A and B are shown apart, each in its own frame.
Chain A
């Protein structure tokens, strides 16, 4: 199609009528009777919904409620399950932390009839080997010795330079 014929076809009354019909506008004056009839036909086809077409509104709304009500509990159940799982995890950890002995906790056997605050100080650590008087405790070879280590062996001994 040449440019001229394309230009002519765009200016043709038929195309102008079609544009008006698609836009829902009035036809240009002098439109042929067939175009006028076509406009009436398309207006009728695009008319607002009839009572028969809209008769199913209640059923459609009921179906919508049913679908959405089925959808919501699933979400809630998922949320509740997730929250319960988190609570169990956090609570279990807290309970375990309260019950289980900590690595720095020392079990001190109290003699019968002696108040706890009068009891002898705890040994350095329950995992430490038994002390032998006058000897340093056995430790792995290469472990550094220092003030803390000496204090651990003999807590009653004052630290060096700390007597002031």
Chain B
């Protein structure tokens, strides 16, 4: 499928997109909030331009895709830092929901959006690692390469994130 897409086959690219877009979008919701759709569109354009030169399997492709997404988000934040007047407006848009509200919603219907929203209430490094490990299905080494940390730090962040989530959910369960 990757080779066919790299050769320019539209149907193969569509299959690739169907597989990889949901994890990408959920990852970007954690990192970029409401701008996830826009950033995802830019990432896929970059993928379309560079896919012919890509070499690797499905896991490597997923790692490449999420690396591109992370770089886009970092660039976006840098642009916002240069323009503080926009940062004020965007900070309101990117405001994270309160943990209690999202935990209740997640327990009520357990929709994907509610689950992502609850994960997004974690500290950013923990939320990012959990999304990459659980949703994108990457191993510790791949996650470490993407986020630029050591595997041990990734493990610690993941366990802390899970512990925080479990504590919040436990509070909701016992209430």
Contacts and interface: CB of A to CB of B under 8 A. Distances in A.
A71 interface: yes
SS class, residues of chain B in contact with chain A = helix
A60 B16 CA distance: 11
Chain A: interface size category: 35 or more
Contacts, number: 109
23 contacts: A18-B158, A21-B162, A22-B133, A22-B134, A32-B170, A34-B167, A37-B107, A37-B169, A37-B170, A37-B173, A41-B106, A42-B134, A45-B115, A46-B135, A49-B21, A56-B37, A57-B21, A60-B14, A60-B41, A61-B17, A64-B13, A64-B48, A67-B49
Interface of B: 8, 10, 13-14, 17-18, 21-22, 25-26, 37, 41, 44-45, 48-49, 52, 106-107, 110-112, 114-116, 118-119, 130-131, 133-135, 137, 158-159, 162-163, 165-167, 169-170, 172-174
Interface of A: 14-15, 18, 21-22, 24, 32-35, 37-38, 40-42, 44-50, 53-54, 56-57, 60-61, 63-65, 67-68, 71-72
Given A44-B111, A45-B135, 17 more contacts: A18-B159, A21-B134, A22-B158, A37-B107, A37-B172, A38-B169, A41-B110, A44-B114, A48-B22, A53-B22, A54-B18, A54-B22, A57-B17, A60-B13, A60-B14, A60-B21, A67-B48
